[in-house]
Structure 1
């Protein structure tokens, strides 16, 4: 008899739960469409909430496809009428959605009517990126203007960089003393921007060295960097009209190990006693080892790096220090090429415009005016 009573009680409980579930109404008018102005892999859902939401805690969103069975894809709070599905959505695959209500007691309603089949796909033109297009066009206009100005002979002002102005003095001093110039292009591979910038500086340096009829020593940590450095030095000597003075053995591979390379360069300093040391590129823990050794032998030292943690060591031990973006601008500064100079000038104007916009946007946002900030927001 006890078993019978338990069975009856369980049936009554099940019936009560069913009645409660039926009292929960699912959302209506469910529609699904590709999310506009995106790269695809996203579908937006919209629906109308039931009239009575007093017993509803939220909505469970289910998704199915040809190769996916119906499964839970997301959840939305009770007052939401929109959901963007971005979880494992694939482009050009038909999806169909259903939605149902849930209660705090974990009861669920019946499913809503299924949505129409929908495909996610990328847009050819994204309206939310118009700001990027406008900014790019403004920069290109500045670049074209300064290039044309440079070609017509208009002088484009670049502020003086003392470390680069001192190169003539440093190379001339080495020539007077009959000692070589040591050039270290950093310790990173050719794929790094700082190493590329160093190679751009090496060519005009080699040209100056050839004009002064001095010796240039360039140790390298990577073979590929060595090959590029050899070509830069060779072109520099050729442009100076002294290709016969170029010695390929002066640009050589030293060691792939960081501190073995540093030790080898220090040994070169002690043996060759260069009058000028040039450190341009990416440097790390070896920076102070190299700069202190060069300082100890009494060489004029000019260093340039974009590695902020190493700047204090170079500032302390070198005569001149080129910091951050000055390293990237050095090749244009030394070569005097109007195209490179105009490019730097356009970048400077672009940065000035961004800085003014950020400051103005910050001030206006205090008063609730956010159109400038929203203009620089990319979704």
Structure 2
């Protein structure tokens, strides 16, 4: 990483004196990255539900709805590692620009060909691929332009921006499509396409880190070498389990509510509390890591989320469920940015794009395999059994996190 004490004022400047936000990203560049992140997620979370609504309008059978949803993940899953290699070879900006162009093309595809099942699937594949390229580029840019001792705060802010976009997107469905049971999907497709257009300008204005010009040589070993880095496989495993746990709560909290006769509005409040708690933990991540250390915080937060989900097993009054879900949300929110920090620190310059793409590959596999297994369990044990197994998985992930390497100490103050 070079001299970690170097900052905008030159070598020897202590890190806390850097005035431009997290790490070495100037405020203008940081603003562009945050805007790009929010809009990418908002466009994605507009178009995916709108595609499902359009499929319902076309009377697509339920089995095809599953195929439509899978088309977002399957092709990008195959392209995840190549996209990371492209970041390491050509730089973050080019890959983000490619992702932005694919998002615009996806919106246009929904507008022009969204009246057929084949058109919906093709546009969804473009959406998933564009989202993948944009996200890999964003995460690699943070990893390459921020000093290691500021990773936690930077990735906390980054994942907060992503969560904000994921919250804004569904709200824009109502703004463009109305509040009918099946909204005006044509208006949503056009609105999302228009919203995506500025991404082309934003990504063009972002400055790449330049690590692709001094990429790691053959001695680094590529992906195989990365997987041999101490703690990297453990960090990938923890990231996969935590993200799958978030998905499972989205699907099975409503199921638990139905089993226990809890109103849908109350379940919506619980899900909102979980999301809000996760966003709060991400904003405070840098301070929390400074107080207790990255590895200890990851172990504690993953264990906390396991306890939170485990406490949902017995019937509870609503206020107690709200407390428990908030606790689980705090833990689940910290897991993703902390594992990003571990991966960014494990990978040498020139391989960080591949490290982030490996994380996304593991996450996508977990999102496909773990909820599918949970569905099999639900047939025999109900939603409570699924949440219990998820809690056990999180407990195992917390144990796995104990084997992660400790973060390097904070750079010393200049004498």
Pair in the same fold by TM > 0.5: no
Structure with more of its chain in strand, by fraction: 1
TM-score (norm 1): 0.21
Larger radius of gyration: 1
TM-score (norm 2): 0.20
